[in-house]
Structure 1
Amino acid sequence: MNSSNTRRNFLKKSALIGSGISFAGAIPFETLAKEAKHQNKLPAWKGFNLLDFFSHDPNAGRPTKPRYIQWISDWGFDFVRIPISYPSYLDIDRSRPIRPDEVLNFDESRLEKVDELVDRCISKGLHVSLNLHRAPGFCINAGFEEPYNLWKDQEAQDAFCAHWDMWAKRYKGISKKKLSFDLVNEPFQRQNPNDQHSPGGLVDVADYHRVAKAALDTIKSVKKSRLVIADGNGGGGIAVPELADLDLAQSCRGYHPFPISHYKAGWVYKDPESVPPVNWPLIQGERILDIEEIRKYYAPWKALVDQGVGVHCGECGCYNETPHEVFLSWFGDVLTVLKENGIGFGIWEFSGAFGVMNSGRKDVAYEDWYGEKLDRKFLELLRAQL
């Protein structure tokens, strides 16, 4: 080692550090405090949702191929969210609606399948967010019957907490850097829970606070350091400052405006073919929706970040009926705004109608990727954010 060169390098680095301190010292403390205030407390994780346990029927899941997890990691992503329908890991009769006395019939063999996916993802360096997409007493999707209402019935809340107690104990040994819990997917109050097109809206904030606090307390009693996330209200998109007194991060959505992200989606529109064409920017009457509209949409989430609440976008993306160029133009703006606010994202699915792989779009020249159909333009749009 050349000692004179080493000394010169040390002096050079010391001068740079010293100048940095002097520069910082010239900045008013209020300015520095303001900048620090805007730092998102959650890492800007970027990745995908994996739908292995999304269906209430474990035999109807969409298993994630091991090579998918490898590709997610190899391409530089660091996050997966696993939305779970709780009946998928119960030992029950699925030919009829679930009964209150069955909601805690945990099936160890099915729980081990979740363990396997969690372990595989963590082994590849991916942070795992475990989410109850369907919880005792609630799911934003219709087509089944719950025996009670999570937002109103104490029995449902008790069952909800019992599920999170089970998961908290099961994964107690896993660091919060590797695993977080997302309490319940997209709180929403639908007039008719069995009709997907039934109108609805916000869950009463007092009810949401009570249920979230009970589950949070349950989880923290097992592992105080566990990171816990609450989804936005009204289907995930509405920030909930009323939860800011709790030790909860929050999860927003990247589906605004909905006519772009869910264009001709059959579970949204009764007559998908009657939906008018879309473009970006989107013209709605006298309104022109562009990137400034997206900034306005995320302003309440930015306010949460400024308040010191961690924010992540747990779901985002676009259904495969939206013209590809429209989708990429719009979603590029969504990603820009999320990045401006230090908010990471989880694309709704890796392989499928919203995914980078096998999306089934009619207007994409797919790249053959080891026998799979890769949307290279979409992938590179995402990787540009890494």
Structure 2
Amino acid sequence: MKHLSGVNLGGFFSQVKDDIFTDAHLDTFITDKDIKQIRDWGFNSLRLPVDNFFFETAPFKYDESRLKRIDTVISWAEKNGLDVILDLHKAPGHSFAFKERESNNIWDKSSESNKRFLHIWDMFSKRYAQRPNMLLELMNEPVAPEASQWNAICDDAIAVIRKNDKNHPIIVESNLWGMCRQFENLKKFDDNNIIYSFHFYEPILITHQFAPWVSFVIYDIYKKAVKYPGRPEGIGNAIKLTEEKDNQFSELLRGQDRMWDINELEKAMQPVFDFQKKYDVPVYCGEFGVVVLAEPETRKNWLNDFITLMKKHKVSYSYWSYKNMDFGIVDYTQQYKDNPNYDAQRLDKNTLKALQNGIL
């Protein structure tokens, strides 16, 4: 498999405000000029997150006009020599949000949600079987109660896709938000064209410092600037207080009370590299980044170390995210108009340079 280096198009067909996709947004947020810009920066791929309700009007029913919008982005990418990772970012009966995961019913094979999920991949695999520049990512950040449940639904989806499409790579992410340590529970599938994926935002007190949607900020528990390389201070009390408010989220804070540098990042990713070596399979990081609320030096240093490790271990990657979304390479929101990470053109040159250093 060729080495993929690229960006996410987050916030386009996924994760929009109030889940309302207006024509004004769809016509302007990403255009062919953006795809050309990504190519001109030297990248060879883009990850396209798509929520099921962007195109699913009712169970097993799809809005053809919305599907054609996906087609258009794929065509723009093909024209510019870019591969497209089609990421089912939100799936029927599945939420990767901490407080919603217990209501997920997609893991029940008799549920309508499970059947809808497989029907979507039957539809996509038929629709895009002849497209030359496609990779199919089954689900974003699965949060199955047991890894065996995630492995089982992947087996079913792979079988559905392979009935229609024998050739395109299929991307399978590890359970529990793509955690590296979950690779020990990830199945090696009986298909030679699978790419195994993870997401990496460790340590979260650095990558998500001051992010208004995380529990330790929501509950005013931990609002400190943390440098990288560096050590989060006072984390013990933060874990205890977060447990009281959001016990599931507190698990992400465990083990972070140490000095973080490139060696610690590599240790955190070691289960991925072990899996890669054991099975001689391609691995891919579908999301990573540092929120723009971090100091520019912290964001730059973390990304430089991360990309160094991607090159060392020959791991493909898609940065989160190309535009806006609190992590953007470019950002045109009013919220961050004076953010020190961006220049007058609203470009974060440090992030762009770091990502370009990983291009093989």
TM category, shorter = 0.7 to 0.9
Among residues 294, 306, 328, which one is paired with 1:322 in the alignment?
Answer: 294
How far apart are residue 139 of structure 1 and its match? 2.3
Structure 1, gaps ≥5 residues long: 1-41, 92-101, 190-202
Structure 2 Cα separation of the partners of residues 145 and 234 of structure 1? 10
Residues 288-303 of structure 1 aligned to structure 2 (within 5 Å): 288-303=259-274
Q: Aligned letter for 1:90? A: E
Deviations 1:79-107 (A, max 9, x none): 1001111011123xxxxxxxxxx221201
- Larger-gyration structure (1/2): 1
What residue is the counterpart of 1:277 in the other structure? 225
Structure 1 Cα separation of the partners of residues 189 and 33 of structure 2? 41
**Is contact 2:292–2:339 with CA below 8 Å preserved after alignment?**
no
1:71 aligns with 2:27: no
What residue is the counterpart of 1:305 in the other structure? 276
Question: Could you tell me the TM-score, scaled by structure 1's length?
Answer: 0.76
**Is contact 1:132–1:182 with CA below 8 Å preserved after alignment?**
yes
Question: Could you tell me the TM-score, scaled by structure 2's length?
Answer: 0.82
Among residues 132, 136, 157, which one is paired with 1:181 in the alignment?
Answer: 136
**Is contact 2:211–2:291 with CA below 8 Å preserved after alignment?**
yes
Q: Which moved more, 1:272-281 or 1:224-233?
A: 272-281
Residues 78-97 of structure 1 aligned to structure 2 (within 5 Å): 78-91=44-57
Q: Aligned letter for 2:2? A: P
What residue is the counterpart of 1:3 in the other structure? none
How far apart are residue 142 of structure 1 and its match? 7.0
Q: Aligned letter for 1:186? A: E
Structure 1 Cα separation of the partners of residues 201 and 31 of structure 2? 26
**Is contact 2:310–2:358 with CA below 8 Å preserved after alignment?**
no
SS at match of 1:345: strand
Residues 1-386 of structure 1 aligned to structure 2 (within 5 Å): 42-51=1-10, 52-55=12-15, 56-59=19-22, 63-91=29-57, 102-141=58-97, 149-155=105-111, 156-175=113-132, 178-189=133-144, 203-238=145-180, 239-241=182-184, 242-247=186-191, 248-269=194-215, 270-271=218-219, 274-284=222-232, 287-306=258-277, 307-352=279-324, 353-358=326-331, 360=336, 362-364=338-340, 366-369=342-345, 373-386=346-359
**Is contact 1:320–1:361 with CA below 8 Å preserved after alignment?**
no
Structure 1 Cα separation of the partners of residues 224 and 342 of structure 2? 26
Change beyond 3 A, Cα 1:378–1:314: same
Structure 2 Cα separation of the partners of residues 282 and 367 of structure 1? 26
SS at match of 2:179: coil
What residue is the counterpart of 2:251 in the other structure? none
Structure 1 stretches (4+) deviating beyond 4 angstroms? 142-148
Structure 1 Cα separation of the partners of residues 190 and 172 of structure 2? 10
Structure 2 Cα separation of the partners of residues 351 and 225 of structure 1? 31
How far apart are residue 265 of structure 1 and its match? 1.1
Structure 1 Cα separation of the partners of residues 36 and 155 of structure 2? 36
How far apart are residue 188 of structure 1 and its match? 1.5
What residue is the counterpart of 2:236 in the other structure? none
Deviations 1:45-95 (A, max 9, x none): 11111132103432266731321111110111011001111011123xxxx
Deviations 1:131-164 (A, max 9, x none): 1111111121379899961123422222111000
Structure 1 Cα separation of the partners of residues 124 and 200 of structure 2? 27
Sequence identity, in percent? 26
Deviations 1:362-381 (A, max 9, x none): 45264444xxx111222112
Q: Aligned letter for 1:379? A: L
Q: Aligned letter for 2:198? A: C
Change beyond 3 A, Cα 1:259–1:181: same
Q: Which moved more, 1:151-160 or 1:66-75?
A: 151-160
Structure 2 Cα separation of the partners of residues 264 and 147 of structure 1? 28
Structure 2, gaps ≥5 residues long: 234-256
Deviations 1:218-275 (A, max 9, x none): 0011011221011121111234353213323211123111111111111113135842
Structure 1 Cα separation of the partners of residues 9 and 157 of structure 2? 23
How far apart are residue 119 of structure 1 and its match? 1.0
Structure 1 Cα separation of the partners of residues 6 and 97 of structure 2? 23
**Is contact 1:252–1:313 with CA below 8 Å preserved after alignment?**
yes
Structure 2 Cα separation of the partners of residues 258 and 280 of structure 1? 12
